Structure 1
């Protein structure tokens, strides 16, 4: 508790803790903070503007925001991930020999608004992560949870960093970005920005590009493009009106810049909810669209089947391209594995290639933006988060600390699913909290073994996916699964093995993630 005056004390209580993300170049409309909150960044880079004052965002950075503040967040990386701790501020008073609690007129705490400079930011983040994990198992008013939160506040108050501010050039760049965000609708000269930063135009451009990996003009254009997205959704504005409103002097330059940045033209962006979509993907883009309420009846999959020859794979690709051409889509959404076919695809229809990332949510939100279903995507992610929390509690009760492993059989190999760097691994071992078997590689995505060379390992539960292969290999796999080391495995001895559908592929879409959770819960029911 923080003394206020006399027998009054200010107390900060944890109301809720959430984990959130902002996608790349996602500029929010100015929003007012509805209540006090602690904002802790876990990954990503960008800028946070608090009441038009710009601060650079980087991992392990913390902010204390109070009710009524206005903020904007802009991500310069694929995403910014952070924790939000909603805080309830109360005053405890001692009067007439008794104590009373009041939510009204609670005095400010020792936490200063804005950025919090800490000496031990890494330690603070670890505590926040522990709080978040425990909040998924307990109610927020749990005494232990609140005590840990009070300990966190105490550490913040006594761990304020006395380090100096960043270099003057870096501070000046942040100030110039704040100016961009406030005045992007007007013409902005490079000389104006360099004066704000306290540098010559040449030094400013060089320092800006070194810090942000793009020129000041490119950065300003990103701000303008993201602001234009909001206006394009309002029918009363023409493309020319939007171009002028966000600071582009030329409508054609605006359209070209918009397409280079977003992937589709402003005209297509306006009509994106009515577009006829096709996908070229190995990562379940069709399932992603289906979850968003978009009908995508045609899907091309250019994955090279290892059991087929080169010529047969080429023939299958040409058949799919022919069918895609007959379908005549308005837009093709493709993943990075279809880059070799990009020239052929764009001759059929405008094609957007989604950048590769192991975070399926980034791809999902990017797809949602292209088809105008951002709100549906956010709702689906929130619902899945609640589902995961519910399933984690049930699986903790039924499985406890017993171990789970996933193996995949294909093309003469056995592949063991690792603990990291894949949507399935993240779902099973991080979000659902399952424990890995002794064979599961802790710092690798997968580990492969030749048939017959899988070393002995222990796991309580074993899930097996057998890739569709030629029939003559089936007997080989059956033989492998009947060897001495196999029969000695705990999961086999206890009859705790199960053949599963392709969870590896399914985990790239919310529909698949929900199905995996269903399979786990039904198996343990």
Structure 2
């Protein structure tokens, strides 16, 4: 499949208009004509170099070298001193669908392939087609004309098919080289064009390949790397903010501060103070995350403290002050070094007490939040260690669960509240069951997860429960009388009784711990999964 086809479901058409075979004597040059909207150049024999006006350096030009150019490309090909350089130039038009109509095409001068250069390692078949095209290019026989158009399509197909495989390997190598370049030169001015030139790729294609390999755009990566280096300097030195900004590539310290806060959640000044002071946080959402990192908050949200004491039975939780957002004086008396929250309005309310960091709840999953908080407190190694032990626990639990629930059987998750029902996806209750243990959701949930990989939950009416029917049903009921009454009424409905999981006796009731979404609760859920299924086996 060609580069452009991956982007456009209605691919363009390519119409060969003419060609020539050029033989350059040693030390002679050839300038690319600007008469054709599009040109394909294929090196056949000899060596030389390609020099384009928009590239600071020339590129080697040898057998198998391929270049795509447009009428706006200003470039020359020069032969080395030792031998004649021969190459083919194919001039063609590109016809693209007009206005989204698949059967109506018009010439396009703006079309470009994702990669405008290739180096074919086995170009012999391309040379055969090129010479055949050359032999018949003057023929007026309609069949010969048609055959040449077919040959040109074959030539393009071979270049894109074999070239894309080679380009993938070569591009990955180029990305690694530019990563090294970024790490060595992040304090200097770095533009997308600079980085693409380092890789020998067009900026558009370089961005696409970089994002595929690294997970973010080149400029996003440069920013992240600079911020990481800034965090090290702020933790480990007492350099002034202006000096830190300059050392990581920012001339304007105020712009640096804005970018830092966007990425980290607090300003560089606050980050430095938190890193160099005794850690004494107050938190209104991330209590269990801090505890997983070995950081005991001096105060935390009242219901979270109660949950850790009663449900998770964390002994250290007895020393944490249970707080309400409506008691700022009590928070102030604890003299926190920082306040963590998920609610943006808390920042204005609490910033006079201590630096306040807002981490929006839906911006990341449990591991993303854990790593972010660990980074804030300089505890990244502890976060990675926790994740590693958690993955080992997941593998152990999965081996047991796979013996209880066959892979072909589906699993639905239902949350019952006083007046609402929710079918869950991959957050909260669904994280362990769907993400960790890789159980199969019902079709409706699968489709929602495909559209949104972090899909949380969908409200469901009683009469819609059958649409989420599965071989197994994991049910979580809120711990209040109205929710329990709602569940009892639900189980008496005829459509409930017809659910496959109910008829098979494969309904599993989940405890309170399953509704929480934090590191400590995920570990507890894995432990309980084994107990629940073991109990189900025995019943």
Pick closer, same or farther for the CA change 1:406–1:261 going to 2, 3 Å. closer
Cα deviation for residue 389 of structure 1 reads: 1.1
Say if 2:477 and 2:484, in contact at 8 Å, map to a contact too: no
- Quick check: 1:275 aligned with 2:261? no
Q: 2:266 pairs with 257, 264, 267, which one? A: 264
Pick closer, same or farther for the CA change 1:220–1:452 going to 2, 3 Å. closer
- Quick check: 1:523 aligned with 2:532? yes
More helix by share: 2
State how 1:151-190 maps to structure 2 within 5 Å: 161-163=162-164, 179-185=181-187, 188=189
Q: Deviations over 1:105-147 (max 9, x none)?
A: xxxxxxxxxxx99xxxxxxxxxxxxxxxxxxxxxxxxxxxxxx
Say if 2:241 and 2:269, in contact at 8 Å, map to a contact too: yes
Cα deviation for residue 512 of structure 1 reads: 1.3
- Quick check: 1:293 aligned with 2:294? yes
Pick closer, same or farther for the CA change 1:494–1:320 going to 2, 3 Å. farther
Distance in 2 between the 1:483 and 1:216 partners?
56
**Which SS does the other structure have where 1:454 is aligned?**
helix
Distance in 2 between the 1:491 and 1:195 partners?
55
Corresponding residue of 1:379 = 385
Corresponding residue of 2:422 = 415
Corresponding residue of 1:397 = 403
Cα deviation for residue 320 of structure 1 reads: 5.2
Cα deviation for residue 278 of structure 1 reads: 1.7
Distance in 1 between the 2:460 and 2:255 partners?
54
Tell me the matched-pair count.
Answer: 339
Corresponding residue of 2:375 = 369
Cα deviation for residue 387 of structure 1 reads: 1.1
- Of structures 1 and 2, the larger Rg is shown by 2
Distance in 2 between the 1:195 and 1:386 partners?
40
**Which SS does the other structure have where 1:162 is aligned?**
helix
TM-score normalised according to structure 1 size: 0.52
Cα deviation for residue 521 of structure 1 reads: 0.4
Distance in 1 between the 2:197 and 2:439 partners?
52
Q: Deviations over 1:4-51 (max 9, x none)?
A: xxxxxxxxxxxxxxxxxxxxxxxxxxxxxxxxxxxxxxxxxxxxxxxx
- Quick check: 1:500 aligned with 2:506? no
Q: Deviations over 1:221-273 (max 9, x none)?
A: 65433223334444687878756654567888866764554333556545437
State how 1:112-261 maps to structure 2 within 5 Å: 161-163=162-164, 179-185=181-187, 188=189, 222-234=224-236, 245-246=247-248, 258-259=260-261, 261=263
State how 1:349-360 maps to structure 2 within 5 Å: 349-355=354-360, 356-360=362-366
Corresponding residue of 1:436 = 441
Corresponding residue of 2:521 = 512
Distance in 1 between the 2:280 and 2:161 partners?
55
Q: 2:459 pairs with 448, 464, 471, which one? A: 448
Corresponding residue of 1:35 = none
Cα deviation for residue 295 of structure 1 reads: 0.7
Say if 2:466 and 2:496, in contact at 8 Å, map to a contact too: no
Distance in 1 between the 2:502 and 2:218 partners?
61
Distance in 1 between the 2:485 and 2:255 partners?
62
Corresponding residue of 1:131 = none
Distance in 2 between the 1:476 and 1:425 partners?
21
Distance in 2 between the 1:254 and 1:453 partners?
51
Say if 1:278 and 1:298, in contact at 8 Å, map to a contact too: yes
Pick closer, same or farther for the CA change 1:451–1:301 going to 2, 3 Å. farther
Q: Deviations over 1:367-423 (max 9, x none)?
A: 1111221001001111111111111111112222444321111141221223xx536
Distance in 1 between the 2:348 and 2:183 partners?
37
RMSD: 4.9
Corresponding residue of 2:352 = 347
Distance in 1 between the 2:182 and 2:422 partners?
50
Query: Is there any run of 5+ residues in structure 1 with no aligned partner, and where?
Result: 1-115, 118-158, 199-203, 304-315
Distance in 1 between the 2:439 and 2:495 partners?
24
Distance in 1 between the 2:328 and 2:511 partners?
27
Say if 1:298 and 1:327, in contact at 8 Å, map to a contact too: yes
- Quick check: 1:477 aligned with 2:482? no
Q: Deviations over 1:193-244 (max 9, x none)?
A: 599679xxxxx9xx99xx99x9999976654332233344446878787566
Pick closer, same or farther for the CA change 1:403–1:232 going to 2, 3 Å. same
Pick closer, same or farther for the CA change 1:172–1:388 going to 2, 3 Å. closer
Distance in 1 between the 2:443 and 2:350 partners?
45
Pick closer, same or farther for the CA change 1:255–1:477 going to 2, 3 Å. closer
Distance in 2 between the 1:428 and 1:265 partners?
38
Q: Deviations over 1:145-193 (max 9, x none)?
A: xxxxxxxxxxxxxx98414969xxxx999988865532334x5498995
| Larger mean Cα displacement after TM superposition, 486-495 or 425-434 | 486-495
Distance in 2 between the 1:222 and 1:458 partners?
44
Distance in 2 between the 1:175 and 1:227 partners?
19
